[in-house]
Amino acid sequence: MFEAISFYLFAFLTIAMFFITVTTSQALYALTALAAGMIFISAFFFILGADFLGAVQIVVYSGAVMALYAFGMMFFDTTRDLKEKHGNSLIISGLSILVAILVVVIFAAPMVSSNIEALYPVVEGAGNTQQVGLVLFTKYLIPFEVAAVMLLVAMISGIVLAGKKMDLSLTMMSDAEIKDMKIEKNKKVLS
């Protein structure tokens, strides 16, 4: 009973929030609606008993990703209204619903034929966080490490792309060049 009420409540809220994100013409509204939708999605994870996943959803999405977007929006001119494509909305809606149903069929086809079995069944008598840790650090250790390397690569590329004068390297330059650069910088500050 309680599960049904919470499911329908959060389903309605999430769909409303994401609909606002997709349709609004103001970037700030879209950002805040997206952040709210992320929080509401974590509610589904808590209902489903995936506590750790819900916590990670809140921390990573509403914390890190939304902060990054808010930071990125400071670079762009977001005060003006966004222009939108005015294509045939019937074709667009039809195509997206078709593709979404196709994705669900891809997911559900092996289950309907009912020959899937739990490869890593839930360990009895352990909390969700412990179960996740047990599976993540035994069966999925190498993907976990690869994901860590990927995040490192993403961090370095983000710094290099967004930072200023990242094409210069202080360790590769001679002392004279560094001195010239400092003098130029001081000139710019003084002028």
- Please report, as residue ranges, which positions from 95 to 134 form the binding site for other proteins (by CB under 8 A): 95-97, 99-101, 103-104, 107-108, 111, 116, 118-122, 131-132
Residue 104 or 183 with smaller CB distance to other proteins: 104
Does residue 44 touch other proteins according to CB under 8 A?
Answer: yes
Q: Given CA atoms 141, 143, 146, 150 in this order, what sign does their dihedral have? A: negative
Q: Are 36 and 16 in contact (CB under 8 A)?
A: no
Structure tokens at 172: 């590769």
Nearest residue to 44 (alpha-carbon basis) of 13, 67, 1: 13
Structure tokens at 136: 């993540």
Nearest residue to 60 (alpha-carbon basis) of 49, 45, 78: 45
Does residue 19 touch other proteins according to CB under 8 A?
Answer: yes
Which of the stretches 40-48, 167-175, 179-187 binds other proteins when contact is defined by CB under 8 A? Answer: 40-48
Q: How far is the CB of 189 from other proteins (least distance, A)?
A: 22
| Alpha-carbon gap, residue 176 to 11, rounded angstroms | 64
Q: How far is the CB of 171 from other proteins (least distance, A)?
A: 22
Which of the stretches 75-83, 167-175, 180-188 binds other proteins when contact is defined by CB under 8 A? Answer: 75-83
* Residues 124-183, interacting with other proteins (CB under 8 A): 131-132, 135-136, 139-140, 143, 147, 150-151, 153-155, 157-162
Q: How far is the CB of 176 from other proteins (least distance, A)?
A: 29
| Alpha-carbon gap, residue 159 to 152, rounded angstroms | 11
| Alpha-carbon gap, residue 182 to 160, rounded angstroms | 21
Q: How far is the CB of 190 from other proteins (least distance, A)?
A: 25
